[in-house]
Amino acid sequence: MSTSPENTPSTKNSPAELTGRVAVVTGGGSGIGRAIALRYAAAGGTVAVLGRRPEALEETARLAGESGGTVETASVDVRDADALTAAIDAVAARHGRLDALVNNAAGNFVVPAEDLSPNGWRAVVDIVLNGTFFATRAAARHMLGAGDGAVVNVIASYAWHGHPGTVHSAAAKGGVLAMTRTLAAEWGARGVRVNCIAPGPTETEGAGAALWSTPQARERVLDSVPAGRFTTPEEVAEAALFLMEERSRYITGTTMVIDGGQWLGRRVYG
Ligand code: HXC
């Protein structure tokens, strides 16, 4: 990609102009993934949502249809590299392009590290770290061929500051952070950007069940957020959309945190 000013592309798409663009969102059947898919579709783009539960994916497609957007679905577990690659290849073949990938599929539960079984460790690392790489590899083969594309990986701030009870998820998301920086450097000259978003505590069913399942736990989490409330999936989707779009064309290898100041504002003194 040339960097001379006369060749610098104009802003090809505003938030309302993603017509003709195609994205894949993993874990698009619920929560943050669904919000990102709906936002992309509302801006005119076509989104393929991948996930394990067909009925949840269909609900995302139905909701998109209500607002005139286009969402396609494919039932696939991101731990199955072959099936994941086939699903992403099929999207690219159907549309003749693939502009963006959001690696949102995740698995999580809070557990003392010494009690975590090998299977529990493997389940989370397989979904988060391996699944992200398998999907990115598949998507990048199309993007690198076209010399254009954006990958957005969903991580969490404990990828760099750590958090008790999340050793599997933190290790996996820390790996995704390192993967993001590595691939941003490796593919930067070939037009493919790779970035992360790090949502704070977000009001979704999955996160609530996994991370704040009691009223006391919920209160404790809320108390840790300087902004005084949970993040909404729609706020996270705005950040993802920006990094998927042409507007952010000079941004790669970075992490946008959407957490109401949570990780900076952990109170210790006073
Ligand atoms: C201890 C547990 C456990 C728990 C599962 N395991 N839940 N161990 N405490 N609460 C162990 C099981 O005992 C088993 O090990 C192994 O993990 C695999 O469990 P399965 O249920 O057989 O696996 P599977 O059906 O594949 O489920 C994967 C999963 C599940 C990750 C365990 O929770 C899942 O799919 N979740 C997806 C949705 C999700 O978690 N969303 C939340 C994302 S929120 P053994 O040894 O018994 O065989 C998020 C936000 C973070 O990530 C950021 C916040 C700021």
| Region 122-150 average pLDDT | 98
What is the predicted pLDDT for the residue at 186? Answer: 98
Cβ of 221 less than 6 Å from ligand 1: no
What is the predicted pLDDT for the residue at 9? Answer: 46
Residue 193 · residue 139 · CB < 8 Å: no
270 vs 268: CA distance, rounded Å: 7
For ligand 1, atom 2: residue with the closest CA: 120
What is the predicted pLDDT for the residue at 26? Answer: 98
154 vs 188: CA distance, rounded Å: 20
Q: State the distance from the centre of ligand 1 to the C-alpha of 21, rounded, in angstroms.
A: 34
For ligand 1, atom 4: residue with the closest CA: 109
pLDDT classification of 246: cutoffs 50, 70, 90: very high
pLDDT tens-digit readout, 2-46 = 444 444 444 444 545 899 999 999 999 999 999 999 999 999 999
Which residue, among 105, 170, 108, has the nearest Cα to 131 in the 3D structure? 105
Cβ of 165 less than 6 Å from ligand 1: no
What is the predicted pLDDT for the residue at 23? Answer: 98
236 vs 200: CA distance, rounded Å: 9
Task: Pick the range with the lowest mean pLDDT from 67-71, 97-101, 199-203.
Answer: 67-71
Residues pairing with 202 in the sheet: 231
Residue 127: both structure tokens together: 């979904």
- Provide the whole-model pTM: 0.93
Q: Hey, what CATH topology would domain 17-204+231-258 get?
A: Rossmann fold (3.40.50)
Cβ of 120 less than 6 Å from ligand 1: yes
Task: Give every CB contact of residue 139 below 8 A, 6+ residues apart in sequence.
Answer: 24, 88, 92, 98, 101, 149, 151
